[in-house]
Structure 1
């Protein structure tokens, strides 16, 4: 009975956190605005004060709000939110324009992922390389789109973890949420044979310990991935992706 009670309370707490957090990210509660008093939230959502306080603590930990004596609980500027938090990412994803979302995602990846691949080529252990290879093999063996997406995400996550640099790891951890949408779109295209060759090239460069080749093959992979999404969606979006260097 005790365990069931705790589970139910956590579920209610998560629902309240979702509703308030989603409202903040959607802009329904503006930056600098004060949240309604605790008792008002309790009445609006038909929950206990304990649940509301837990939700407030959770949102405070995510950087969305801050409580000050005599001034209430206010929404913090978006620059101070924990933008890599899984819930914050999910709320953004639920409310963002898809093209704008994809553009921002590719801006991040093109700025960071080639460097991560180059570092992985230097730092990766045999276990790390085996993990990257497993992702690549999983893509090759995938019979349905969902299997391909899962393996593709695992491949890219493994590269970030293989840097052996903990500051790269949060990006890998957020991919389960952020990349799933773009990979699910891309998985419907006819480019899969070429994508497999390009992923294998990145794997081979990392396994060979060739940082320059790992960086260059990742640039090629990302540039073509952006092109694939543009073609599939039938519209342009600004990725600022660097184009592969032309051979002279």
Structure 2
């Protein structure tokens, strides 16, 4: 891999570790990586530094670069999510992050129903209407639908008024995008999921926290069922 850049070294090495090609406990060396990628020691060090910050490797003098156990990795790092969704176990990882959505998004929707401003409620309703329009046109697998879907979920997390919930926004967006990239977002969205997106928006608009939570749980569980069955 001659003349690789820092970004390409990071992406390739991180992807190999995430895919299990470099198992936890295996040891790499700067010299070996430098030779493999055909880059300078500085480029290798920069990539390793990022992986250390993500908890994926540990670099020690006279030992080398050791791949750390999976439970030490920063599971919500969007780069890691992307690598995992590109790997051979992508369906498992997609289900794992969708389970996170099922735990977080219903609570966020309930809080949004209590805390969102009138302007924010109107925007959530507009986004839901756009999803409904695009879905009805068979464009559920389009880039436009994906962008609006991400904006819809991010806005609900933001308007929850809870910074801890909002902090999961990037990870949830990454898995929504990853699901689309895997071809698992249907052109004709399932009625249960789409109708409950709209019902969630309406519940938030009228300040009905219980209904917002219920409808959100319904559509996330429908997505989780699709992921598991696929």
Output the TM-score relative to the length of structure 1. 0.78
Deviation of 1:62 (Å): 1.2
In structure 2, distance between residues paired with 1:102 and 1:56: 26
Between 1 and 2, higher relative CO (CA 8 Å, sep ≥ 6) is seen in: 2
Match of 1:155 in 2: 152
Match of 2:13 in 1: 20
Q: Output the CA distance in 2 between the equivalents of 1:182 and 1:27.
A: 21
What is the RMSD of the two structures over their aligned residues, measured on CA atoms?
2.4
Matched residue, 2:219: 221
Residues 165, 27 of structure 1: CA spacing in aligned structure 2 closer, same or farther, 3 A cutoff? Answer: same
Other-structure match for 1:71: 63
Deviations 1:74-102 (A, max 9, x none): 11111111111121011100114354234
The unaligned stretches of length 5 or more in structure 1 are 1-8, 238-248
DSSP 3-state at the match of 1:107: helix
Q: Equivalences for 1:136-151 in 2 at 5 Å?
A: 136-142=128-134, 143=137, 144=139, 145-146=141-142, 147-151=144-148
Deviations, residues 111-161 of structure 1 (Å, cap 9, x unaligned): 221111111112222343244223213213325331223222221121111
Shift of 1:190: 5.8
Task: Give the CA deviation at 1:52.
Answer: 0.8
Where in structure 2 are there 5+ consecutive unaligned residues?
none
Tell whether the 8 Å contact from 2:101 to 2:172 is kept in structure 1 after alignment: no
Are the counterparts in 2 of residues 149 and 187 from structure 1 also a CA contact under 8 Å?
A: no
1:29 aligns to 2:22 (yes or no):
yes
Deviations 1:33-87 (A, max 9, x none): 2212x22211211111111111111111111112223322211111111111121
Q: Which aligned segments of 4 or more residues in structure 1 are displaced greater than 6 angstroms? A: none
CA 1:181–1:88 in 2, change beyond 3 Å: closer, same or farther?
closer
TM-score (normalizing by structure 2): 0.84
Distance 1:29 1:98 in 2: 17
Which protein is bigger by CA-based radius of gyration? 1
- Give yes or no for contact 1:39–1:49 (8 Å, CA) kept in 2: yes
Q: Does 1:118 align with 2:110?
A: yes
